[in-house]
Amino acid sequence: MAGTRSSNFRHLDPTRVPVIVGSGQVTDTTSKPGEGRSPLQLMHDAARLAADDSGAGDVLMRGIDSLTVIRLFADTLPRFASPFGKLVNAPWSLAQRLGAAPTDLVYPPHGGDSPQVMLARACARIAAGASQAALVVGGEALRSELAAKRAGLQLAWGEEAPAPPDELDGPKGMYTPAEEVHGMRSAIAMYGMIGQALRQAAGQSVDEYREASARLFARFARVAADNPLATRRAGYTAEAIAAVTADNPYIGFPFTKLMTASAFIDQAAAFFVVSEARADELGIARDRRVYLHGTAAAHDEWFVSDRPRLDESPAMRLSAQHALAQAGKSLDEVSFFDIYSCFPSAVQIACKELGLAPDDPRELTVTGGLPYFGGPGNNYATHAIAEMVQRVRREPGSFGLVMANGGLVTKEAVGLFSTSVPDKLFVLDEASVIQDEIDKAPKVAFNERPVGSAVIETYTVLHGKSGSESGVLFGRLLSTNERFLAVTPADAQILQRLEAVEALGLRGTVSQVDGRNVFVPEFG
């Protein structure tokens, strides 16, 4: 029976068995300008909900020895820097409001993988005897921030601190200088080109790929429609998601607005991880307890332009295989999934690597996904974990899989969750178990200053408020098959043709103009 202690479990040291005991989420879609909660307040409220969800309330919250705050978007991307002040040490500021005094204050590097990675870290510290109670929390208030800026308001969201937090390895850039020079410093540019590579591998036309992407995301939209915490609950049809209209324009060809993460939201989520001994001490009911049975994390070739293939993710495949093996489960034994969904290509490549059909009868999300539930910066997977905790509780003994993705299909982290009590100690395997295999893959041949005849390997057309603005691409020189990065001329007719014809494999000529590679396509 689910939740029953096995004989092996009785011999485990309960101070070293990690268990998730509470999760909480907050979504605010209605506050007026100037009345919305700051990220700090949203995180406070989510933490209190998670403490209440455990049944232990303030006693649990005040007794934490570790507090991790998922890095804010304001500290991740320059264009999201907040005009309302900076939290010098977000974990310290939150601890003050919770009445807690944790000694482990962590503010990890950016990435949508970080919530799952930080959950695994919390579990590993408990298994090692270094912790007994941890809180992982994150929140964003970009909706309220934008409304306040538009209203001309000044808010005080920043706070000083006596010392900085532990940033672990610290942030690491996601783009090469060449990618930046060629206008590729954006998720939509890279995910758009990854999508085109997936389209080519599947043998689909542009329309076929866009329609398949829309059918995939209509499934996510239906889940969001039934989730009171989702920010877009219209239950968009595949036809509405695929249609290119004034309200649903291309953001980056071939993806429309309704196919991309919705970042301007107010959301926060939190979960508590404690030792089995602490849970017993606090009198937390067994039906509140959820265990992390398997986990793994790895990264693909760090920079997208260095990857030999854009339609594959060894890190996704190997992390999922490793986590499932650690849990002793097959994919068929998983009842619930939450696949990171910032763009259709993120889900498509995950399904491909997992061996999971896009039309699998099991839902691919428990929240509704980043375009419809909401895309709170680096913190989406905290919501996925919080919701997965609730989902497996409702079906004791079932298993749920969360796949968290960071960067540009770069960093992958997988977790397997269940109320079933483990019969072995939690072990966080060294990343090198997977990483070494990934790093042995051959590197792509690259040419920084290409000249001559070439073909388009993959591309996207980036759009702004007035329509198409620029074309960016990976190409291959016909003479050497070396990869290069380039832009197309800023010509409206060229950009329109790139969206109207099959441009993968299209020939043209590349040369240097003002420090950038410019590819001029030869349309038939």
Q: What is the CATH number of the domain that holds 483?
A: 2.40.50.840
In a domain, 514, yes or no: yes
Range of the domain at 464: 452-521
Instruction: Tell me the pTM.
Output: 0.96
In a domain, 445, yes or no: no
Parallel, antiparallel or unpaired: strands 399-406 and 104-106: unpaired
How close are the terminal C-alpha atoms of the chain, in Å? Answer: 67
pLDDT value at position 278?
Answer: 98
Strands across the sheet containing 18-28: 18-28, 266-275, 133-141, 66-69, 104-106
pLDDT value at position 10?
Answer: 62
Distances (CA, A) of 372 to 231, 325, 345, 376: 6, 32, 16, 11
Q: Are residues 278 and 426 in the same domain?
A: yes
Distance, CA of 378 to CA of 362 (rounded, Å): 26
Q: Which residue has the tokens 């996904």?
A: 369
CATH label of the domain that carries residue 300: 3.40.47.10
pLDDT value at position 3?
Answer: 56
In a domain, 144, yes or no: yes
3-state secondary structure of 246: coil
Q: Are residues 394 and 503 in the same domain?
A: no
238 contacts: CB under 8 Å, gap ≥ 6 = 211, 214, 215, 217, 218
Last residue of a domain, one of 408, 439, 470: 439
Q: Are residues 287 and 351 in the same domain?
A: yes
Q: Are residues 143 and 166 in the same domain?
A: yes
pLDDT value at position 441?
Answer: 86
pLDDT value at position 433?
Answer: 77
pLDDT value at position 375?
Answer: 97
- Residue-by-residue pLDDT tens, the chain, 524 positions: 345 555 455 678 999 999 999 999 999 999 999 999 999 999 999 999 999 999 999 999 999 999 999 999 999 988 899 999 999 999 999 999 999 999 999 999 999 999 999 999 999 999 999 999 999 999 999 999 999 999 999 999 999 999 999 999 888 999 999 999 999 999 999 999 999 999 999 999 999 999 999 999 999 999 999 999 999 999 999 999 999 999 999 999 999 999 999 999 999 999 999 999 999 999 999 999 999 999 999 999 999 999 999 999 999 999 999 999 999 999 999 999 999 999 999 999 999 999 999 999 999 999 999 999 999 999 999 999 999 999 999 999 999 999 999 999 999 999 999 999 998 989 887 777 789 989 988 889 999 999 999 999 999 999 998 899 999 999 999 999 999 999 999 899 999 999 999 999 999 999 999 999 999 999 97
Q: Are residues 340 and 483 in the same domain?
A: no
Count of domains forming the chain = 2
Q: Are residues 407 and 503 in the same domain?
A: no
Q: Are residues 81 and 105 in the same domain?
A: yes
Q: Are residues 480 and 415 in the same domain?
A: no
Number of CB atoms found within 10 A of residue 65's CB: 19
8 Å CB contact between 193 and 200:
no
In a domain, 219, yes or no: no
